Amino acid sequence: MTLTPFATTRGAAGRYLADVVLGTTRAPAGSYVDRGREARSSEESYDPRREGELWDAVERFTRPSP
């Protein structure tokens, strides 16, 4: 794979993630973090109907088989 100009290196991504986990970067539950700052996600991600559909799919796919 080739890195694009918008890509973040693994090391930088790890630091961004650590900052969120440690509380250095403010990221309330459910927030989207883009390169170390809280950012608004796409409008679709705020649609409660889509959220319900996703949750239903997760439950279906992770249900133990009989």
Has residue 2 been placed in a domain?
no
Please, are residues 16 and 33 in contact by the beta-carbon 8 Å criterion? yes
Indicate the number of domains in the chain: 1
DSSP, collapsed to helix, strand or coil, labels residue 32 as: strand
- Residue 5, in any domain of the structure: no
CB 37 within 8 Å of CB 25: yes
Question: What pLDDT, on a 0 to 100 scale, did the predictor assign at position 59?
Answer: 96
pLDDT tens-place string over residues 53-64: 999 999 999 999
Which position has the token pair 């630091």? 15
* CB-facing half-sphere around the CA of 66: CA atoms within 13 A: 0
Average pLDDT of the residues of the chain: 88
Q: Is residue 55 part of a domain?
A: yes
Q: Could you list the residue range(s) of the whole structural domain that residue 47 is in?
A: 10-62
Of 33-37, 46-50, 61-65, minimum mean pLDDT range: 33-37
